[in-house]
Amino acid sequence: QVELVESGGGLVQPGGSLRLSCAASGIIVSIGDMGWYRQAPGKQRELVATITSGGSTNYAGSLKGRFSISRDNAKNTVDLQMNSLNAEDTAVYYCNAVVRTSWSRRASEYWGQGTQVTVSS
């Protein structure tokens, strides 16, 4: 019913920037919180940032200041601007959204397929 598709990942040198985008499509009545998470090889998936439908943001403490999350409710998209990237930022980045597909059912959480971000010289 709902698909989240990330884009914008790739290879970037240390100190560089990338902007990730995620678009939600399908049967969508409303979208609540949206967010970005990441998972490095051998590590647990961790929160990067979240944003409510009203625009309130939350960041992992170590990332605040370098990363910025934003959303466009009209387009059903959420972006992640990543600056001053370093090797520790290398991970698969996943888009997340809480989506209602019917007024008669509770919202469900959806995940994108992930996009690889590699920071290397």
Q: With beta carbons less than 8 A apart as the criterion, state whether 47 and 35 touch.
A: yes
Indicate whether 6 pLDDT > 90: yes
Q: What is the pLDDT of residue 64?
A: 78
Measured CA to CA, the distance from residue 23 to residue 8 in angstroms comes to 12
Q: What is the pLDDT of residues 69-98, one digit of tens each?
A: 999 999 999 999 999 999 999 999 999 999
Q: What is the 8-class DSSP label of residue 18?
A: E
Q: What is the pLDDT of residues 52-64, one digit of tens each?
A: 999 999 999 988 7
Q: What is the pLDDT of residue 115?
A: 98
Query: Which candidate, 67, 69, 70, 49, places its Cα nearest to that of 58?
Result: 49
Tokens representing 48 are: 């990067």
Measured CA to CA, the distance from residue 119 to residue 121 in angstroms comes to 7
